[in-house]
Amino acid sequence: MPETEAFMFDRIELQREFFERLTTIDAAIVDRAAKEPCRDCGGPLHRGDYPRKPRGGLLAVAAEAFGRRFSLCCGREGCRHRVTPPSVRFLGRRVYVGAVVILVSAVALAVATASAVTRTTGVPARTTRRWLRWWRGPFTTTAPFVDLSARLVPAPDRRRLPTSLLERLGGDGTSCLAKLMTWLAPITTMSCPDGSRFVRGVM
Ligand SMILES: [Zn+2]
């Protein structure tokens, strides 16, 4: 196999500093979201973070130390509406952190066999297959993908997602992962509609 750019992604190991950077971005996002009143009752939003048990697999063991999902809760009695703003660390309810979902999917596209992917990344083959189906299917109907496709000419190759996006976003391995997570952040939560405005300009 030729040493393509995509294949090089399996040499990346995401270190503590990378997740510290993402945590700083998430903190800026939750601070912005907290400035708005509760959508249901107009009451004040207070921090109501909750614990998660993120997995990083073999390529991002450091991720497992960053388990707090930043969240907000309405302070008004009887409402207590919860708003979980977008995140550049967590990709929805998946137990693996977002950067690992992207990175391992890129490795799975580049490496010939499922067993080699599992050996390199520590992520079970059925999980990586599910992720690749998501990138090719439901992901292509999301607002971030539609926005990105409109900006990138020619449009990224849908059969090679997410690698085709990483290549187009540019930068070295870890910075293009962070950039892509910033694009994906709005789809990391269902409880914060139009959350993309909290993410704009945070990087
Ligand atoms: Zn409220």
pLDDT > 60? residue 162? yes
Confidence (pTM): 0.93
Instruction: Name 36's Cβ contacts closer than 8 Å, sequence gap at least 6.
Output: 45
Farthest CA pair distance, the chain: 61
The pLDDT tens digits for 113-160 are 889 999 999 999 999 999 999 999 999 999 999 999 999 988 899 999
Residue 71 CA to ligand 1 center (angstroms) comes to 14
pLDDT value of position 10: 63
Distance CA 53, CA 7 (A): 29
pLDDT in tens, 33-69: 999 999 999 999 999 999 999 999 999 999 999 999 9
Find the 63 Cα to ligand 1 centroid distance in Å: 32
* Distance between Cα 191 and ligand 1 center (Å): 13
How confident is the model at residue 193, as a pLDDT? 84
